[in-house]
Amino acid sequence: MNTSAGRSVGADSPQPFVEAAEITAGGWVFNARVAGPAAGRPVLFLHGFPQTSASWTAQLLGLARAGHRAIAFDQRGYSPGARPPQESAYGRDELVGDVLAVLDTLGLDRVDLVGHDWGGALAWQVAGLAPERLHTLTVVSTPHPVALAAAVRDETSGQREQSSYIRLFRTRGAAEEKLLADDAAYLRALFASLPAEIAERHLAVLREPGALTGALNWYRAIDPKVLRDIGDIDTPTLYVWSDRDEAFGRTAAEATVDSVTGPYRFEVLRDVDHWVPENGAKALTGLLLEHLAAFPAR
């Protein structure tokens, strides 16, 4: 992994800082952010749509302060060096393969995995398909796929309406045009509760050639039925949901417990919207540190 100084507070400072990095894995080059001592307990973060690894900045710094090695990378479609044009290149197996290839490149047999939004959906898949690679799992916002599917079928849950945006995102060409029209007004509305600086970081990436199509291809290439075939999760799991989440409702969140057979903790953040890593940063970082402490790396 090649690193270069990022938002440093000084090489001799005891305060942690985030470094920019590149991770070459599986034939791709992923842009990444890392923080904390190289010998620290490794924690890998997976971002969601339509964000980048910058969404995890608060958690990277918080875990680094506690002595952990925190790593987040811009996933397939978001990194210029990992942006295949084919829709079929964004299937479940390809995305899980990216995570495992990153672990292999970093020389990590096992890791603590954290995911939000699509990164959370992917984290469930990694835990189901490659549990031997994980110490713990933390999923933010995204319910287990079985719980989510059941909530969509339940006409009283409201989840079908909350998930209705997916129809637009799966529409080739029209989605890109709508999301970037009028200086990306649609995306800016999604980011309305975020600081402008953070929103602009995400938008700068999505404006790169092929980036938004790559990001949307996650919705287009993955069959929801495939996501549900992972079975129950035995990895020690922390699931954090927020009660103002616009994308995922309470029904699916509360039902997630039924798909986890291992140690499980469910936490609800009050008055926090979907952007938990930023808008619930302090609470989320605290919960994550507690989860890591409860399950020491073996």
Q: Would you kindly state where each structural domain of the chain is located, as residue ranges? A: 2-294
Of 218, 270, 202, 199, which is closest to residue 240 (Cα–Cα)?
270
Radius of gyration of the chain, Cα coordinates, nearest whole angstrom: 18
CA triplet 203, 92, 230: central angle to 5 degrees?
125
Please state, in angstroms and as integers, the Cα–Cα distance from residue 47 to each residue in 40, 52, 182, following that order.
21, 6, 25
Confidence at 11, pLDDT banded by 50, 70, 90: very low
Say how far apart CA 13 and CA 35 lie, in whole Å.
Answer: 13
Q: 264 — phi, psi (to 5°)?
A: -140, 135
Residue 200 is predicted with a pLDDT of: 95
Q: Quick check: 10 pLDDT over 50?
A: no
Confidence at 115, pLDDT banded by 50, 70, 90: very high
Confidence at 15, pLDDT banded by 50, 70, 90: confident
Q: What is the pLDDT of residues 157-186, one digit of tens each?
A: 999 999 999 999 999 999 999 999 999 999
Number of other residues whose CB lies within 10 A of the CB of residue 10: 9
Output b/e per residue, 111-147; b: 16+ Cβ within 10 A.
Answer: bbbbbbbbbbbbbbbbbbbbeebbbbbbbbbbbbbbb
Average pLDDT over residues 101-114: 98
Confidence at 120, pLDDT banded by 50, 70, 90: very high
Q: Quick check: 119 pLDDT over 60?
A: yes
Residue 12 is predicted with a pLDDT of: 39
Confidence at 224, pLDDT banded by 50, 70, 90: confident
Q: Which amino acid is at 133?
A: R
3-class state of residue 111 by DSSP: strand
CA triplet 199, 202, 206: central angle to 5 degrees?
130
Answer yes or no: are the C-beta atoms of 230 and 125 closer than 8 Å.
yes
Residue 203 is predicted with a pLDDT of: 97
Q: Quick check: 269 pLDDT over 90?
A: yes
Average pLDDT over residues 259-266: 98
Residue 3 is predicted with a pLDDT of: 62
Say how far apart CA 121 and CA 163 lie, in whole Å.
Answer: 14
Confidence at 14, pLDDT banded by 50, 70, 90: low
Task: Write the CATH number of the domain with boundaries 2-294.
Answer: 3.40.50.1820
Residue 142 is predicted with a pLDDT of: 98
Residue 223 is predicted with a pLDDT of: 85
